Amino acid sequence: MVGETHDAQMTKIAVVTDLHANKEAVEAVFAHARAQGATEWAFLGDFVGYGADPAWVVDQVREMVEAGAAAVCGNHDEAAVIGSTPQMRTEARLVIDWTRAQLDPGQLDFLAALPFQVQREDRLYVHANAYAPSQWEYVQGRADAVRSIHATTAHYTFCGHVHEPALYHLGATGKAGDFKPTPEVPIPLPGYRQWLVIPGSAGQPRDGNPAACYAMFEPAAQRITYHRVPYDHESAAAKIRAAGLPERLAARLAEGI
């Protein structure tokens, strides 16, 4: 490719989303991505909420953002900054108040300063969708995906919020498709089609597989690989219980639901 250096050819971007204060999962994902040769990092938000280690996760991400990683704000991060409201369900209020109490002012400031979207070259990073990044509507099907793709000129949109891995595409002929990715199989994402990548949640997988999700994007090769990383979810669940957070949040990690 003209004008690209050797380094650009080797770029591997680890895209991690919905970390949800799960230290054990995040550690496992980081170790896996480093072993895979990740050269860049992108975080699609929801660093906190549900899990027992919000401060640790925020510190890690802040450090990596200072070193150049991209990061956007998720709805849980926003809630931690704003605090709970009386309209929230009891459980949500409990979790948000607990999370907020775990974070020092510096960590809260970091979350408060996160943008809703980041565009780098032909890649858009956003938590929920590209058409209303701060409204938290889910991309739950082809129609939503097309709406999001139409809202950006980027070839590649990476979003989180939805915890199950998915891949959507829109061709030059105006037809959209969706695909349930097979983990560990590199998928070509040619740039003459627009793609919307949902890596799936690292900290609270919900597709029936407890292993943590993330995706590795290789811009030069135009290729993405969805990964699943097994981690010590029993320890993560034990910490949630020890913190007095709702039992349901601990139990679901073992089943990935």
Partner 1 sequence: MVNAPRKPKLPPQRSGTVRSSGAFNSGAGGGSRGGRDWYDIGSMGPPLEKGAIVDGFLLEKRLHQGGMASMWRVSRVDAEGQPAPVADEPPLIMKVPRIKGGEDPATIVGYEVEQMIMPALTGQHVPRYVARGDFTRQPFIVMEHIAGDTLRPRLAEAPLALDEVAEIGIRVATALHDLHRQHVVHLDIKPSNIMFRPDGAAVLVDYGLSRHEHLPDLLEEEFSLPMGTGPYMSPEQVQFIRNDPRSDLFALGVMLYHFTTGERPFGAPTSVRGLRKRLWIDPVPPRALRPDCPPWLQEVILKCLEVQPDKRYQTAAQLALDLQQPDQIVLTRRAERMVRSSQWTRLKRWFFALGAEPQESAPSATEVLNRSSIIMAAVDVDNASPELLDQLRETVRRIVLTEPGARLACVSVMRIARIGTDALTDHTGKSLHVKQLVSLKHWARPISKSLNLEDGRLTFHVLEAPDPADALVDFARRNQADHIVMGARGNSLLRRYLGSVSSTVVAESLCTVTVVRASAPTETEAGAKPPAPDTPNDFAPS
Using CB under 8 A as the criterion, which residues of the chain lie in contact with partner 1 when the complex forms? 1, 150, 153, 155, 167, 169, 171-179, 182, 185, 187-188, 190-194
Tell me the residue length of the chain. 257
Nearer to partner 1, 34 or 175 (CB): 175
Q: How far apart are CA 197 and CA 65, in angstroms?
A: 21
- Nearer CB in complex with partner 1: 53/218: 218
Nearest-approach distance from CB 159 to partner 1, in angstroms = 17
Rounded Cα gap, residues 194 and 185, in angstroms:
20
- How many alpha carbons fall within 13 Å on the CB side of residue 141? 1
**Tokens standing for 29?**
């994902």
Residue with tokens 């292993």: 211
Closer residue to partner 1, CB minimum distance, 1 or 67: 1
Q: Closest approach of Cβ 218 to partner 1, in Å? A: 13
- Minimum distance from residue 227 beta carbon to partner 1 (Å): 14
For partner 1, the closer of residues 22 and 194 by Cβ is: 194
Contacts 24+ apart (CB under 8 A), 103-110: 103/48, 103/54, 103/55, 103/58, 104/55, 107/54, 107/55, 107/58, 107/59, 107/62, 108/80, 108/81, 110/58, 110/61, 110/62, 110/65
List 206's β-bridge partners, or say none.
none
Compare residues 102 and 209 and give the one whose CB is closer to partner 1. 209
CB of 116 to partner 1, least distance (A): 23
Nearest to 94 by CA among 253, 247, 255, 257: 247
In the complex, minimum distance from the CB of residue 160 to partner 1, in angstroms, rounded to a whole number: 20
